[in-house]
């Protein structure tokens, strides 16, 4: 496999990353980040596992990155996404791995957010010949197929010109994430994407530029009690086979994305990988992995989070309440859980950047 320079990959290099994953039978975890703590923990874990990785921002994550307190939420979301991406650009090469930068679900209301980010990348591309992100996502799966594909084509035309990709969604991911989706649609038949819709999307989008497809096979955002999620990865195979047959392509022509990867069983992951999934989104499990060790720390040293100096023993607690202490404990929680994902997705040791 040809090798890539470490750092953020876009355009042909990004597509090479996708191709290598599919041909190699592995996928990359796509981690939703909200700050430098989560970004650095992802870079650290990817480097330790000698794997490339996908870092992404939801609109809510971008807003948080830009500052939750700012009242101009629109521009905070735009600037937060740009700021996070710039942080990744500065550090990815330093960690010696390839990083793809994505934005996550953008519904109809969030199209202006995506367009503002595209505009930024267009300016950057005109100036430096590279975009800021590798791919943006449009999630118009709750709109009509016509609207979904028309908007996807409109944006992909702009993205293709600046070496960027687009991720689209057909069929909905259940559950709720950052205000998108709802938790009471678990029995919705739209949780299973129709192969015919995938075929039509491929016929309309692939001549324009590179795109990836979040096809639903019962996926749900969040982690629920067992029995509430019925994953059917064979849905992905039906779509791949139809496109292969109708468009006369090779095996697994669609570049598929697995949403709602948290809490998934290994046999479902394995089957999804065999059907051309190159990216699995993981958010909820890592939120918990960050929070739990901090909770444990507070439980172990309850007084250190109430007093600067112990009122009885006069012991100073500075080393415990120093944010670098408890935030690092959270970062290590992310590293532990994410390391497991690199193994589950079979991407450990597969970085395309030379060691
Ligand atoms: Zn998702």
Which CATH number belongs to the domain containing residue 262 in this structure? 3.20.20.70
Return residues with CB closer than 5 A to ligand 1 (ion): 173, 259
| Stated length of the chain | 355
Q: How far apart are the first and last CA of the chain?
A: 14
The per-residue pLDDT for range 97-106, each reduced to its tens digit, is 999 999 999 9
How many whole angstroms from its chain centre is CA 46? Answer: 14
User: What total number of domains does the chain contain?
Assistant: 1
In a domain, 302, yes or no: no
**pTM, to two decimals:** 0.95
Residue 321 CA, ligand 1 centroid: distance in Å = 35
Of 210 and 181, which is predicted with more confidence?
Answer: 210
Query: In angstroms, rounded to a whole number, what is the distance separating the alpha carbons of residues 190 and 284?
Result: 22
Range 240-250 average pLDDT? 97
For strands 28-32 and 53-57, give the pairing.
parallel
Q: Which residues span the domain enclosing 53?
A: 7-290
Query: In angstroms, rounded to a whole number, what is the distance separating the alpha carbons of residues 229 and 151?
Result: 30
C-beta of residue 185 within 8 angstroms of C-beta of residue 222: no
pLDDT value at residue 181: 64
In a domain, 310, yes or no: no
How many angstroms separate the most distant Cα atoms in the chain?
77
pLDDT value at residue 291: 98
The per-residue pLDDT for range 311-331, each reduced to its tens digit, is 999 999 999 999 999 999 999
pLDDT value at residue 53: 98
Residue 104 CA, ligand 1 centroid: distance in Å = 7
Range 217-242 average pLDDT? 84
Residue 184 has pLDDT above 60, yes or no: no
**246 DSSP β-pair partners:** none
In this structure, what are the phi and psi dihedrals at residue 15, rounded to the nearest 5 degrees? -65, -30
Residue 261 CA, ligand 1 centroid: distance in Å = 9
Residue 223 CA, ligand 1 centroid: distance in Å = 13
Residue 185 has pLDDT above 50, yes or no: no
In a domain, 331, yes or no: no
Residue 298 CA, ligand 1 centroid: distance in Å = 31
In this structure, what are the phi and psi dihedrals at residue 215, rounded to the nearest 5 degrees? -100, 135
Residues tagged active-site: 104
pLDDT value at residue 278: 98
Dihedral of the CA atoms 177, 268, 286, 98 (nearest 10)? -100
Range 47-70 average pLDDT? 98
The per-residue pLDDT for range 253-270, each reduced to its tens digit, is 999 999 988 888 999 999
Q: What is the DSSP string of 205-253?
A: HTTT--EEEEE-BS-BSS---TTS----THHHHHHHHHHHHHHT--S--
In a domain, 154, yes or no: yes
Residue 171 CA, ligand 1 centroid: distance in Å = 11
Query: In angstroms, rounded to a whole number, what is the distance separating the alpha carbons of residues 118 and 314?
Result: 56
Highest mean pLDDT out of 182-186, 213-217, 345-349: 345-349
Residue 192 has pLDDT above 90, yes or no: no
Query: In angstroms, rounded to a whole number, what is the distance separating the alpha carbons of residues 331 and 120?
Result: 30
Instruction: Report the mean per-residue pLDDT for the chain.
Output: 94
Range 261-290 average pLDDT? 94
Residue 169 CA, ligand 1 centroid: distance in Å = 9
Q: Which residues, including other chains, have CB under 8 Å from residue 128's CB and lie 6 or more apart?
A: none
Residue 20 has pLDDT above 60, yes or no: yes
């Amino acid at each position: 496999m040809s090798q890539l320079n470490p750092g953020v990959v876009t355009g042909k290099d990004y597509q090479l990353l996708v191709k290598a994953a599919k041909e190699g039978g592995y996928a990359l975890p796509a981690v939703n980040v909200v700050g430098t703590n989560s970004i650095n923990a992802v870079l650290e874990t990817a480097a330790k596992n000698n794997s490339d990785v996908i870092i992404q921002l939801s609109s809510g994550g971008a807003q948080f990155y830009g500052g939750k307190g700012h009242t101009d939420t629109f521009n905070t979301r735009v600037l937060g996404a740009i700021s996070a991406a710039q942080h990744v650009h500065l550090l990815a090469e330093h960690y010696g791995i390839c990083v793809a930068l994505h934005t996550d679900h953008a519904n109809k209301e969030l199209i202006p957010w995506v367009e503002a980010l595209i505009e930024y990348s267009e300016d950057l591309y005109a100036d430096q010949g590279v975009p800021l992100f590798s791919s943006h996502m449009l999630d118009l799966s709750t709109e009509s197929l016509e609207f979904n594909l028309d908007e996807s084509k409109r944006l992909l035309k702009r993205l293709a010109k600046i070496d960027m990709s687009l991720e689209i969604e057909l069929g909905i991911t259940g559950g709720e994430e950052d205000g998108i989706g709802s938790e009471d649609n678990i029995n919705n038949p739209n949780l299973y994407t129709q192969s015919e819709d995938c075929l039509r999307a491929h016929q309309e989008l692939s001549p324009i530029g590179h795109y990836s497809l979040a096809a639903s096979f019962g996926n749900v955002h969040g982690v629920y009690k067992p029995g509430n999620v019925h994953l059917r990865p064979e849905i992905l195979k039906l779509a791949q086979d139809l496109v292969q047959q109708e468009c006369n392509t090779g095996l697994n022509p669609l570049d598929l994305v697995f949403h709602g990867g948290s809490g998934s069983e290994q046999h479902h992951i394995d089957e999804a990988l065999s059907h051309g999934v190159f990216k699995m989104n993981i958010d909820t499990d890592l939120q918990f992995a960050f929070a739990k060790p901090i909770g444990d720390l507070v439980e172990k040293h309850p007084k250190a989070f109430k007093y600067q100096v112990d009122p009885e023993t006069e012991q100073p607690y500075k080393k415990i309440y120093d944010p670098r202490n408890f935030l690092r404990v959270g970062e290590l929680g992310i590293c532990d859980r994410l390391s497991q994902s690199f193994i589950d997705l079979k991407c450990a040791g597969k970085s395309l950047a030379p060691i």
